[in-house]
Structure 1
Amino acid sequence: MTETDEQQRISTAIIADGERVLMIRRRVKEGKLSWAFPGGGIEAGETPEQAAVRETAEEVELEVKAVKVLGERVHPNTGRHMTYVACEPIAGEPAVGDEEEIAEVAWVAHADIPTYVPYGLFGPVQDYLDEALTRSA
């Protein structure tokens, strides 16, 4: 078993709404990461989809439903095992829910994603956002 296998697995919510995607700025950078998608550790007995929904509610006070898993990988900047889950907003307006972890919440336009994530997104996430965010443009 490698160190990565022993680490807690992370689920992250990719929440597209209209022409924007929800991003958060964490108070403490993780590697090069400053801006990211809402998410966190998958708890025992929890699916990645359930974790994405729970973490979104905790971090940004937004109720979402999981639509589909976009993909998994070991993140090249953090070494953490990541699962990316497409989610749709159901209720609420995003706000900083966990002030110890989250500094800021922003709806980011498709064209502005490279400003927030200059090293690029995971391919399946970028493909999903390319389709989801330009479909409504």
Structure 2
Amino acid sequence: MPQQNTEEQPGIAVAIVVHEGRVLMVGRRIGEGQLSWQFPAGEVGPGETCEDAAVREVREETGLNVAPAKLLGKRAHPQTGRRMCYTACEVVGGTARIADPEELAELVWVTHGDIPQYVPHGLFEVVQEYLDAALHP
């Protein structure tokens, strides 16, 4: 039986969108009255790159137009085991809003110092390093 390639295309693309000293986070509905704060993200489609999927997910979820700036890294998510890729994105147009109310309940632009309130378990190291530099705390 052939071994699977562990460098397959990641299953989930995550967009790290920094604009005017803040990072975009979305509140996903996970239960009655409960939210999970995350970066815009979704499945990588067939034939799509991580970067393209990140751009598409930001547009679909928030209506914001972004461009990929840098692929930050890939990993297996420590809790779910899903293949993940993280792309830094720059805003090129539009205004962030809840474009998919079935999936999102809220969105916020978060300062560097407030990130732990939204993600108390900490961030993937390469994402944290990028935000440390990009948000100039």
TM exceeding 0.5 = yes
Task: Name which of 63, 68, 71 aligns with 2:70.
Answer: 68
- Let me know the Cα RMSD of the aligned residues: 2.1
**2: distance between equivalents of 1:88 and 1:102?**
21
Rg (Cα) greater in structure: 2
**1: distance between equivalents of 2:27 and 2:79?**
16
> Which AA in structure 1 matches 2:122?
G
State the 4+ residue runs in structure 1 displaced beyond 2 angstroms.
Answer: none
Task: Name which of 42, 48, 51 aligns with 1:49.
Answer: 51
Alignment TM-score, normalising by the size of structure 2? 0.88
**2: distance between equivalents of 1:47 and 1:80?**
16
In structure 1, the residue corresponding to 2:135 is in which secondary structure? helix
The structure with the greater share of residues assigned to helix is 1
> Which AA in structure 1 matches 2:23?
V
State how many pairs are aligned: 130
The 3 A distance-change label for structure 1 pair 5 and 128 is closer
The 3 A distance-change label for structure 1 pair 5 and 100 is farther
In structure 2, the residue corresponding to 1:115 is in which secondary structure? helix
In 2, are the aligned partners of 1:23 and 1:37 still within 8 Å (CA)? yes
Structure 1 gap segments, 5+ residues each: none
